[in-house]
Amino acid sequence: MIPRNPCHNAKLPKVYKSEIRPLSDEQVHDFLIEAEKDNIYGMLLRVILFTGLRESEALGLTWDCVNFAKGSLTINKQLQRRPQYAGGPQLTSTKNGKVRVLCPAGFVMNILKERYEQQVEQRKLAGSAWEAWHTEAEHKKALVFTNEIGHHLQPKRVYLHFKKIAEEIGAPDARVHGSAPHLCSPFPAKRGRCEAGADEPGTCFRSLYPGRVRSRIRSHAA
């Protein structure tokens, strides 16, 4: 028997995290164009790109956490992947267990308004095949991003759709989370108002993106 554990003197190697390289202005512009062509995942990816939400947080976003009047999003849960034998994907608390309120730019809220109307239309077209809400009360607590029959979206497919667009715009190494500077305030609203919820949040917006990107963004805020 040895007197002491030799592992106690071992030095663990340093863990180096790869640097996240955000998309360039030109790539952001091209991403918006390509995302508009994706009927199922396009809106989701555009919201993620300009809010900094994790995929699981965006997939777990429900309508009761979208405040159109104040232009804010309450991020208090995520859609966590679980195998089918364990009950399948379930809504759980956020990664750090904290709740935060985001005040995204106006065009992001307009995308969500468009998504709301789209989901209502999808329910009509799906008829009895619709799997999500059936009453207005249920709709308020339903998932924002679903497929054509109201089923939740798969995180793996979100990743694949993002990578497909990333390759098309010449950024194959881009990540879903943190790919572009997001235009929102991560702080609770003061006096019931969001500080960065305007269509153009001041000089920050103008300095981050050139005219071509702003023009594409304004098309969603019109």
pLDDT confidence of 182, banded at 50, 70, 90?
Answer: low
Alpha carbon 46 to its chain centroid, in Å, reads: 7
Give residue limits of the domains in the chain. Answer: 22-221
Q: What pLDDT, on the 0 to 100 scale, is given for residue 8?
A: 77
Q: What pLDDT, on the 0 to 100 scale, is given for residue 82?
A: 81
> Span 169-187, mean pLDDT?
70
What is d(CA 191, CA 134) in angstroms, rounded to the nearest whole number? 35
Q: Is the pLDDT of residue 198 over 50?
A: no
Q: What pLDDT, on the 0 to 100 scale, is given for residue 218?
A: 53
Q: What pLDDT, on the 0 to 100 scale, is given for residue 128?
A: 94
Q: Is the pLDDT of residue 181 over 60?
A: no
What is d(CA 200, CA 16) in angstroms, rounded to the nearest whole number? 37
- 22-221 to CATH, choices 3.30.930.10, 1.20.120.140, 1.10.443.10, 1.20.120.80: 1.10.443.10
List, for residues 138-151, the tens digit of each pLDDT value.
998 999 999 999 99
- 3-12, 33-42, 170-179: which has the highest mean pLDDT? 33-42
Closest CA to 179 of 166, 190, 195: 166
Residue with tokens 């995302």: 35
List, for residues 98-138, the tens digit of each pLDDT value.
999 999 888 899 999 999 999 999 999 999 999 988 898 99
